[in-house]
């Protein structure tokens, strides 16, 4: 897993393979001891579309920003994320970026997910 800064308040980590990257964006609140609290506020997915009729080969990045008080506007984060991805050599242009607003509606555990002991 790799980590990179988006701005002074936002960082991301991600995993990658040959044709895709996926990760999470965090709001970062640093403390005096050198540590930080990380609050997840978005997820992103980047891949190279297989069917590209009418366009050149390119990366596509989808940034899904949670409805959260610490999350910035989806457009700002999508653009800042893409600029940081390019600056860090994670994906090279051409890139199409889309930003989305999202919220978790429900969830369910399959197997022993939580350790409540």
For residue 95, what are its two tokens?
């890139």
Mean of the per-residue pLDDT values of the chain: 94
Q: Which of 33, 116, 44 is nearest to 85 (CA)?
A: 44
Any idea where the domains of the chain sit in the sequence? 2-102
Structure tokens at 14: 């991600």
Question: What does the DSSP 8-state code read for residue 93?
Answer: S
| Model confidence band, residue 55 (pLDDT cutoffs 50, 70, 90) | confident
pTM of the complete model: 0.89
Omega into 94 within 30° of 0, i.e. cis?
A: yes
Tens digit of each residue's pLDDT (9 = 90 or more) over 89-116: 999 999 999 999 998 899 999 999 998 8
**Residue whose token pair is 């994906």:** 91
Contact between 80 and 6 (Cβ < 8 Å): yes
* Tokens found for residue 41: 């506020």
């Amino acid at each position: 897993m790799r980590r990179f800064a988006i701005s002074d308040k936002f960082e991301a980590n991600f995993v990658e393979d040959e044709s895709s990257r996926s990760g999470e964006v965090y709001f970062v609140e640093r403390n005096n001891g050198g540590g930080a609290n990380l609050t997840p506020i978005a997820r992103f997915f980047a891949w190279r579309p297989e069917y590209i009729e009418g366009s050149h080969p390119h990366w596509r990045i989808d940034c899904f920003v949670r409805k959260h008080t610490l999350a910035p506007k989806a457009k700002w984060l999508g653009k800042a994320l893409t600029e940081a991805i390019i600056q860090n050599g994670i994906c090279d242009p051409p890139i199409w970026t889309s930003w989305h607003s999202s919220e978790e509606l429900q969830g369910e555990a399959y197997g022993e997910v939580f350790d409540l002991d």
